Amino acid sequence: MSEKFNFKIEKRLADEKAGALGRAGTINTPHGQIQTPSFVVVGTKATVKAMTPEMLESLGAQVVLANTYHLYLQPGSDLVAQAGGFSKFMNWAGPTMTDSGGFQVFSLGAAFGEHVSKVAKKGDEDKKKVEDGGTGNEGKLAKIDEEGVTFKSHLDGSSHRFTPESSMKVQWDLGADMIFAFDECTSPQATHEYQKEAMNRTHRWAQRCLDAHEKLDPENIQALFGVVQGGRHEDLRKESAEILGQMKTKSGNGFDGFGIGGSFDKDDMGTAVAWVNKVLPEEKPRHLLGIGDPLDILEAVENGCDLFDCVAPTRIARNGSLYTKNGNINITNSKFRTDFSPIEEDCKCYTCQNYTKAYLAHLFHAKEILANTLASVHNVYFIVNFVADIRTAILENRFQEFKKQFLIAFNK
């Protein structure tokens, strides 16, 4: 009944600008098509915070990504399996993905209690280099060894262990169309030496994921994406893409697509992504994990990425930051209290069609729960349609013009 996973490239950027890696395509999954490039909405615990699936669908979202670690802890992956998978559980009929739990190795390990982002900005250089990835320190909730990672639940402190094999099993139970190999997301503050060590471990884990997945899912119902690591280093990134691009099981099955994970330099994301995408097999989709800033997406699409997921649109929405074509605004700023115009005059989202900035400002100041929903609707609409517009521009041979116009308006 369902179509097997596949990816078709419809249009390449290369005919517009020599050397450009970008493309527009279509992914087929058992739960429908994804027109790429596409923004994947994050619904960590089988819910996109403050939004119903109907809202997501009506604003054009195509894919939802949930998280292995979170659903494993709560309500438990066996329960989600009983429900028929997280997509059925949350009433989202479209394509789905799950992250492997690899990001929690970072967020509950190296990044726990620190002010570290996986995207390093200027001025972060003076932050101390971390020799062991930062995971061995006291108080961290994740500890890594060769076999896997031991976590302490952030909910109740109980101990749990993930291995490449168990991540595959949990993701099988969660039942997404596309899943990721269990990897280690490293801190941008980690040394080159540590990045290399972590990358090599991630490669060994990738092979184990590939093998375990083949046993669990011999008909390959779920597409498995390998995750490229290597941090901010060109040599490591290229090596990782090379190894994962060619990795196979004994019976010859390789990855169905690739995630690009780990840490980046904010200023040079396009370059880092290009190192990888020049090496990865062209005919497989590439998902840039956890990246969602409009400017980063623009760079990454141009350099060959097809899918993006990011918590930013929903998280910053809940904190009062709203995307506009002229840059972000913070709706809680005092000047918006009496601004009776929509967030954006020409925006077609439900929020902009029906409410004013003054009303949203009021909801935020009053800490009304509807603020989260209306702000999330706008931001998700903005980013999903922004990426869809990039796709259209590629198909219509006007990507560079689109990019130029967007940057002029968006850059503050």
Distance in Å, CB of 21 to RNA, minimum:
19
- Comparing CB distances to RNA, the nearer of 28 and 314 is 314
Distance in Å, CB of 96 to RNA, minimum:
12
- Comparing CB distances to RNA, the nearer of 20 and 300 is 300
The C-alpha atoms of residue 259 and residue 173 are separated, in whole angstroms, by: 21
Block residue for tokens 């749990």: 160
Distance in Å, CB of 390 to RNA, minimum:
15
- Comparing CB distances to RNA, the nearer of 15 and 126 is 126
**Which whole-number Å values give the CA distances from 132 to 53, 197, 261, in the listed order?**
41, 9, 18
- Comparing CB distances to RNA, the nearer of 18 and 369 is 369
- Comparing CB distances to RNA, the nearer of 135 and 372 is 372
The number of CA neighbours under 13 Å toward the Cβ of 229 is 28
DSSP β-bridge partners for residue 309: 40
Active site residues: 99, 309
Cβ atoms < 10 Å from Cβ of 171: 32
- Comparing CB distances to RNA, the nearer of 83 and 311 is 311
Hey, what amino acid is at 150? Answer: T
Task: Give the DSSP H or E segment for 330.
Answer: strand 329-330
The C-alpha atoms of residue 157 and residue 147 are separated, in whole angstroms, by: 21
Distance in Å, CB of 71 to RNA, minimum:
10
Give the pair of three-digit tokens for residue 286.
């590439």
On whether the CB atoms of residues 215 and 164 are closer than 8 A, the answer is no
Distance in Å, CB of 14 to RNA, minimum:
25
The C-alpha atoms of residue 1 and residue 11 are separated, in whole angstroms, by: 28
Distance in Å, CB of 404 to RNA, minimum:
20
Q: What is the DSSP string of 173-184?
A: HHT-SEEE----
Would you tell me which residues interact with RNA (CB under 7 A)?
Answer: 42, 44, 48-49, 65, 67, 70, 99-100, 102-104, 106-108, 111-113, 117-119, 121, 154, 180, 183, 185, 227, 259, 261-262, 266, 289-293, 296, 309-312, 314-316, 318-321, 330, 332-335, 337, 365, 367, 369, 372
In Å, the largest CA–CA distance within the chain is: 66
Cis peptide preceding 95, ω within 30 of 0: no
CA–CA–CA angle 105, 288, 131 (5° rounding): 35
The C-alpha atoms of residue 161 and residue 144 are separated, in whole angstroms, by: 10
Give the pair of three-digit tokens for residue 47.
């819910």
